[in-house]
């Protein structure tokens, strides 16, 4: 693949759109279809094109729900292992009823594998806390590494009887009192609603804010289930994902600008009116970037067309 030339932090592969959960703010929209799953031949091509000099970290397998594409997941884990690359599975934990069976299948990859559970209110509204606890114990008991993704300011969060981070630490302590929590144990990401807030463009109001700069675009190499490369995972909220794919040269120009000047200044440069930036999440880079691509894709591409003056 021609784009796999510069160094990236991680290789993130969105295996599938399939997912048994239906979260209100999901940017994958599994309800739109169930057939979207990456092909094994595409996975083989990616791993043939990359080296450790290009991917400094490891491979993150996600979706959708990666366990909903189990054959492709196992095939990909084998490829990563062959290339001596660490793997991480980012999952909702919705596969807890089949945990023993699935973890048995993951056994050959245990040494270089971490399982990261995404624990937020939307997931906890569909998966019982008790089932999450049992799943954590099962993962640890079978010798797998375990970590968590939490969302800051999660409006859907259901308090399972105390601070969520503390309760997860309690689970680990009960399993192994000598366990030391590392900085990589919790990955805190901002809550980023994407379901309805981006549908209507509003007129900008004069607000004094520090223009946020995107630090994530093209930091990881993101491969979608359609086999196309993307600048980040956050732009998988559109019905037509190809509109922001990096295999369009004009989109690469736009994301280069996003990295250097941020979505706020980019909007001003192109003459795009922005929503009121005085309150979160409107003043965050992810929201603004999604807003621009959802509502003003034609203006962005016309302004940055490679052959425009």
Helix (H) or strand (E) holding 141: helix 129-141
**Concatenated DSSP letters for 98-138?**
GHHHHHHHHGGGGGGEEEEEEE-HHHHTTS-HHHHHHHHHH
Domains of the chain: total: 1
The answer as to whether 218 is a domain residue is no
CB-based burial, 124-155: b 16+ in 10 Å, e otherwise: beebeeeebbebbbebbeeebbbbbbbbeebe
Domain extent at residue 174: 11-191
Q: What is the pLDDT of residue 161?
A: 44
The answer as to whether 289 is a domain residue is no
Q: What is the pLDDT along the chain (309 residues), one digit of tens a residue?
A: 556 667 888 899 999 988 999 887 676 777 666 668 999 999 998 888 887 678 888 999 998 899 999 999 999 999 999 999 999 999 999 999 999 999 999 999 999 999 999 988 889 889 999 999 999 999 999 999 999 998 776 655 555 445 788 888 889 899 888 877 777 888 877 655 443 443 333 333 333 445 556 666 667 888 888 888 887 777 665 555 567 788 888 888 888 888 788 788 888 889 988 766 555 555 556 777 777 887 888 899 899 876 544
Helix (H) or strand (E) holding 77: helix 70-82
User: What tokens appear for 287 in the block?
Assistant: 């929201």
What is the sign of the dihedral through the CA atoms of 117, 12, 52 and 289?
A: negative
The domain spanning residue 26 has which CATH number? 3.20.20.70
- Do you know the residue count of the chain? 309
The answer as to whether 246 is a domain residue is no
The dihedral region occupied by 33, where left means phi > 0, alpha psi between -120 and 50, and beta the remainder, is left
pLDDT tens digits, residue range 215-271? Answer: 666 678 888 888 888 877 776 655 555 677 888 888 888 888 887 887 888 888 899
Q: What is the largest CA-CA distance in the chain?
A: 64
Q: What is the pLDDT of residue 244?
A: 78
The answer as to whether 271 is a domain residue is no
Q: What is the pLDDT of residue 226?
A: 82
Q: What is the pLDDT of residue 42?
A: 92
Task: Return the half-sphere exposure (C-beta side, CA atoms, 13 A cut-off) of residue 284.
Answer: 14
The answer as to whether 123 is a domain residue is yes
Beta bridge partners of 150: 119, 188
Q: What is the pLDDT of residue 261?
A: 81
The answer as to whether 212 is a domain residue is no
Q: What is the pLDDT of residue 70?
A: 96
DSSP 8-class letter at 55 = B
DSSP 8-class letter at 194 = -
The answer as to whether 103 is a domain residue is yes
d(CA 217, CA 233) in angstroms, rounded, equals 9
The answer as to whether 228 is a domain residue is no
Q: What is the pLDDT of residue 46?
A: 86
Helix (H) or strand (E) holding 252: helix 249-270
The DSSP bridge pattern shows strands 113-119 and 87-91 to be parallel
Which residue reads 């375990």 in tokens? Answer: 146
């Amino acid at each position: 693949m021609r784009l796999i030339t510069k160094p990236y932090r991680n290789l993130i592969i969105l295996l599938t759109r399939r997912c048994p959960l239906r979260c209100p703010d999901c940017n994958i929209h599994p309800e739109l279809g169930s057939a979207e799953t990456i092909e094994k031949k595409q996975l083989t091509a990616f791993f043939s094109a990359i080296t450790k000099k290009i991917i400094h970290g490891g491979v993150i397998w996600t979706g959708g729900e990666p366990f909903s594409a189990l054959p492709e997941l196992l095939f990909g884990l084998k490829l990563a292992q062959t290339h001596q690359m660490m793997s991480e599975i980012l999952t909702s934990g919705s596969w807890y009823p089949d945990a023993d069976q699935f973890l048995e299948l993951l056994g050959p990859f245990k040494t270089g594998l971490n399982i990261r559970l995404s624990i937020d209110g939307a997931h906890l509204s569909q998966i019982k806390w008790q089932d999450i606890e049992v799943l954590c114990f099962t993962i640890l008991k079978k010798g797998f590494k375990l970590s968590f993704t939490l969302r800051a300011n999660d409006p859907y969060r259901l308090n399972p009887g105390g601070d969520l981070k503390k309760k997860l630490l309690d689970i680990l302590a009960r399993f192994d009192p000598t366990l030391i929590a590392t900085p990589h144990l919790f990955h805190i990401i901002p809550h980023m609603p994407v379901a309805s807030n981006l549908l209507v463009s509003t007129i900008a109001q004069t607000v004094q804010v520090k223009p946020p700069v995107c630090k994530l675009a093209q930091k990881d190499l993101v491969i979608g289930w359609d086999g196309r490369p993307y600048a980040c995972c956050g732009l998988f909220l559109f019905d037509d994902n190809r509109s922001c794919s990096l295999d369009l040269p004009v989109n690469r120009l736009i994301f280069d600008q996003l990295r250097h000047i941020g979505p706020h200044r980019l909007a001003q440069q192109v003459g795009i009116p922005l929503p009121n930036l005085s309150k979160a999440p409107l003043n965050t880079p992810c929201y603004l970037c999604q807003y621009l691509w959802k509502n003003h894709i034609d203006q962005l591409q016309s302004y940055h067309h490679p052959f425009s003056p």
